[in-house]
Structure formats: C-alpha cells, structure tokens
Amino acid sequence: MRKVLFFISALIIASIFTGCGKDEEKGNPEALIGTWEYESSVTTINGNIIPSNIDSDERITFYENGKVESTEDGTGTYTTKGYSITLTFTDKETGKQVVTGPGQTFEVSAEDSGLGYGIIGKIKSQTYSVQGNKLILTVEIEVAIQGNVVTMIVKGTYKKVLS
C-alpha cells in the first residue's frame, strides 16, 4: 500500500485514538459510509509531537458492502471490530495484496524510506472515529530503525465530501 509506506516514510523523515466510553465500544461502521477527503495529520513519535506537512489530495470512499476505494491505494475491502479497522488493498505497482490493521507487520526498503536504510514495523492498533463531518484514522506503529524501537502514532483527519 504505497500511500501507507509513503506516509510512514515521510513521517520518519520529518522526524489517539481518543479513548471511548463503554457505551461507544461497539463502534459505528455505518458512520464510515461515504467519501472522505484528506485534510491533515499529526504524528507523535515516542511522545513528541512532530509537525506533519504531507500534501495529499487523497479521497477514500467506504461502501456499505465492505468495499473501499482510495485515490492513493486503489480498491479494496475493509472490516471493523469495535473502533478497530483493517484495510486490504492490491498495490497498484506490484499487484501484491497489502493488509493494514492491528498485528500486521510491514517493511519499507532503504530506497522507499529515503533514509538509506530499511524500516521494519508492526501496527499495534488502527482505529477510526467519526465526529460530525470529520473522520479520524489513527495508526499506532512500533518501528525498528537501525536497532532502535520507536512508537509512532499517526492521526489523519478527513472531511466528509457532501454529495
């Protein structure tokens, strides 16, 4: 999933989900349905807020049938469990299936990271929250960079596109 790899790489180079009450633990997947346009993101690395200046015109559309379309990643599927979300796309360049969700591992090559060395990571959690016309996708990642482990929390905000 090129967007995710770029997103992770860009954040590392440049360098919560808010808890819900017990009455909200079931999640609200119906609130995801629709088209969302990227607005901004905030990254925290080991507790330090890092400014994110990612310029993206990404749009994500979630459908009732579990399908998802992204202008960055193509078509795929999504599943939810509570507020946890797993996305599955077929990479446009390689044709390989890319799954992002809790427990998934990933590897960014030295070339793609732009750092001169590769990055290995694991998604600890990936959640969504819909607040009015805002969708917040939050990914907590544990990344190993040259033997050091850092925790990154990336919170992307999307605005609902009204038809």
How does the average pLDDT of the chain come out, rounded?
A: 81
124 and 109 Cβ atoms separated by less than 8 Å: no
Q: Provide the 8-state DSSP code for 9.
A: H
Closest CA to 76 of 4, 155, 160: 4
Number of structural domains the chain divides into: 1
* CA 7/CA 112 separation, integer angstroms: 11
Token duo for residue 55: 């310029």
Tens of pLDDT, residues 98-113: 888 899 998 878 787 6
Closest CA to 104 of 90, 117, 86, 119: 86
Query: What does the pLDDT read at residue 124?
Result: 95
Of 55-59, 63-67, 90-94, the range with the lowest mean pLDDT is 90-94
Domain span at 130: 2-160
**156 φ/ψ angles, rounded to the nearest 5 degrees:** -100, 135
3-state secondary structure of 65: coil
Task: Return the half-sphere exposure (C-beta side, CA atoms, 13 A cut-off) of residue 57.
Answer: 0
Query: What does the pLDDT read at residue 11?
Result: 41
Query: What does the pLDDT read at residue 163?
Result: 65
CA distances from 71 to 43, 58, 80, 104, 113 (A): 22, 5, 21, 22, 21
| pTM over cut 0.85 | no
Task: Return the half-sphere exposure (C-beta side, CA atoms, 13 A cut-off) of residue 50.
Answer: 19
